[in-house]
Amino acid sequence: MPAERRPTGPALAVVFAVLLAALPGCFPYVLPPGQLEVGLARDGKWGQGTIAHATAGIHTASIPTLVDKPMDFGVGYGADFFGARHGRNSEVRVHGPYAEASRFVFRRPNVRVSVGLRGEMLIKDGDLGWGALARSGAELFHEHSVPAGPWPCEVHGGSGALGFGVYVESGYQQLPWAGHAFIATAGFTFRWPFAYGVIVYGCE
């Protein structure tokens, strides 16, 4: 007598997806106020070529009640990436958490310029290093507020700072593999407000 055949993992996933798509449902979400950075860096000591740099974190200058304050404090996570070159595949140079404190030294209703310091923990293959960077940024922003939408088919809301800008930073890194580097980075920032809502599908 042939053995009973049971659905495989991929088959069960397909069945679940079909059932999920056929039924009405909702998914609540909360997006904390924060900031994304993307840029390019150069290592002044080792000459390791152009390094892609990306970070994302929670920042107080995006919080509704703190948009007008003179300071921005942030915590998040970032990574540096080597590009593929000379037969070498692209790879992560270092990654790890960061903490930042910046002060807005120039401000207009929709423009602000900051200077500050950032500390980094650098991780590579289980080894740890650290970095200390001075930085400056300028951004165009506005206070964004979206009241909650109608129920039951859609609910979205939020408030805080929404903005776009540029930044530069430079400093010292004690690398996880016992080397050190003098790094300089320039790039773009995107700031988003606190947001919340419920995504509903299958609702008429």
> Closest Cα to residue 69, out of 77, 57, 60?
60
Does the pLDDT value for residue 55 go beyond 70? yes
Residue 18 placed within a domain: no
Average pLDDT over residues 7-32: 63
| Residue 169 within a domain | yes
User: Which residues constitute the domain of residue 47?
Assistant: 28-201
Instruction: Look up the CATH number of the domain holding residue 88.
Output: 2.40.160
Query: What total number of domains does the chain contain?
Result: 1
Distance separating alpha carbons of residues 35 and 162, to the nearest angstrom: 9
**Does residue 38 lie within any of the structural domains?**
yes
The number of beta carbons lying within 10 Å of the beta carbon of residue 168 is 14
What distance in Å separates the CA atoms of residue 127 and residue 150, rounded to the nearest whole number?
50
Domain contains 160 = yes
Say yes or no to pLDDT of 91 above 70. yes
- C-alpha 50/C-alpha 41 separation (Å) is 6
What are the pLDDT digits (tens) for 94-114? 999 999 999 999 999 899 999
162 domain-assigned: yes
Task: Identify whether 15 is part of a domain.
Answer: no
13 φ/ψ angles, rounded to the nearest 5 degrees: -65, -40
> Cβ(126)–Cβ(137) under 8 Å?
no
Q: What is the pLDDT of residue 39?
A: 96
Residue 42 has pLDDT above 90, yes or no: no
The answer as to whether 161 is a domain residue is yes
Say yes or no to pLDDT of 15 above 70: no
Position 7 in a domain: no
